[in-house]
Amino acid sequence: MRTVKIKLGENSYSIYIGKGILEEFNSLFSSKEARKALIVTNNTVWNIYGKRVIDSIKDGFTKVETLILPDGERYKTLRSVEKGYKVLVENKFTRSDCIINLGGGVICDTGGFISATYMRGIDFYQIPTTLLAQVDASIGGKVAVNLPQGKNLVGAFYQPKGVLIDVNFLETLPKRELSSGWSEIIKAGIIGGEDFFSILERGKYPLITAIEKAIKLKAKIVKMDEKDKAIRKILNLGHTFAHAIESATNYRRYLHGEAVAIGIMYAIKLGEAIGVTDPSLKDRVKALLERFNLPTELKKLNPQDLIPYFYVDKKATTSSLSFIIPLKIGDVREFRNITPEILGGILK
């Protein structure tokens, strides 16, 4: 088992990564006090893993309740959050009890938001079951749900008490979802530097090592900038484009990681257009994304149609747009002076 520590003073916690470590949950996250747990999950994950998870954790709690939401981003809503509050109140959960999120990013975000807000905050643990959630969504303490007006519009910075990453969960994950997670690992590789990126290019490493490296990078950055004010923004590489692509296609055509893959390629094009990006970067990144069956260009969508969506980005002002651009492997920065003309040029 490998351990990565997120060091944030009194909000510090450990991330445990391994194969077949679900059964260790109670020994890793034991508590002196007797407490109840609410498992937040969805029907897909619950049908496959519910019994195994209950058997693994039940001895550590006086009672285990469940909130089984329908599967899908569509249910990352305040309505699901309210359902959670209802179960918590009905079962008299107090701040000394806890929540355990079991699922992909949708569940980690929804259950995390319930945890951040119920009684002004209750302990929670993440058991991410998709690759994307294991390397990204379950760590760093950003929790949120969507509003009809847009994605992740209500949320909080609220750290879990611990994260358990068991790669065995990935055995049942659909291939496309697995690739989607690889996209965030490749993003981390571009930010992390040659060591990390070239390991990915060589392709000879255990999955656990790639997951650990991506998490270590995120841990390092979150430690420097927990609240996303400065350097943490570079983790959004590819995401301004990705969010526009996801919105323009109503979240139906691309998985998040697929949109990020296309977004990374656009960020590189933008960097080339303003003359800051190393000319060799594009081909290297494209080749790696393609190796993981990720898309690298938009299909059946006019890139110009993305433009209105950039103006609702959290970082935007009306006269200039902010983008995260890679200069080379290991050097990724925010550029705030992207004009609509430059952007329009690369989306032609």
| Strand partners of residue 14 | 5, 162
Stretch that binds ligand NAD, among 38-46, 223-231, 266-274, 308-316 (CB under 6 A): 38-46
Buried b (16+ CB within 10 A) or exposed e, 90-109: eeebeeebbbbbbbbbbbbb
Segment 112-171, which members bind ligand NAD (CB under 6 A)?
Answer: 129-130, 132-133, 136-137, 140, 142, 152, 169
Q: What token pair was written down for 226? A: 């927990």
Taking the C-alpha atoms of residue 271 and residue 279, their distance in angstroms, rounded to an integer, is 9
Q: Is 106 in the site for ligand NAD (CB under 6 A)?
A: yes
Q: Toward ligand NAD, which CB reaches closer, 174 or 344?
A: 174
Stretch that binds ligand NAD, among 27-35, 172-180, 195-203, 314-322 (CB under 6 A): 172-180
Stretch that binds ligand NAD, among 17-25, 42-50, 51-59, 320-328 (CB under 6 A): 42-50
- What minimum distance in Å lies between the beta carbon of 182 and ligand NAD? 11
Q: Is 44 in the site for ligand NAD (CB under 6 A)?
A: yes
Q: Toward ligand NAD, which CB reaches closer, 31 or 44?
A: 44
Q: Is 180 in the site for ligand NAD (CB under 6 A)?
A: yes
- What minimum distance in Å lies between the beta carbon of 179 and ligand NAD? 11
Residue 92: phi and psi, rounded to 5, are: 55, 45
Taking the C-alpha atoms of residue 293 and residue 182, their distance in angstroms, rounded to an integer, is 10
Strands (E) across the chain are located at: 2-6, 13-18, 36-42, 63-69, 98-103, 123-128, 142-147, 150-157, 162-166, 321-328, 331-338
Q: Is 71 in the site for ligand NAD (CB under 6 A)?
A: yes
Q: Is 104 in the site for ligand NAD (CB under 6 A)?
A: yes
Q: What token pair was written down for 219? A: 């841990």
Distances (CA, A) of 325 to 40, 84, 278: 36, 39, 11
DSSP state, residue 238: T
Residues found near ligand NAD in the complex (CB under 6 A): 42, 44-45, 48, 71, 73, 76, 103-107, 109, 129-130, 132-133, 136-137, 140, 142, 152, 169, 172-173, 177, 180, 256
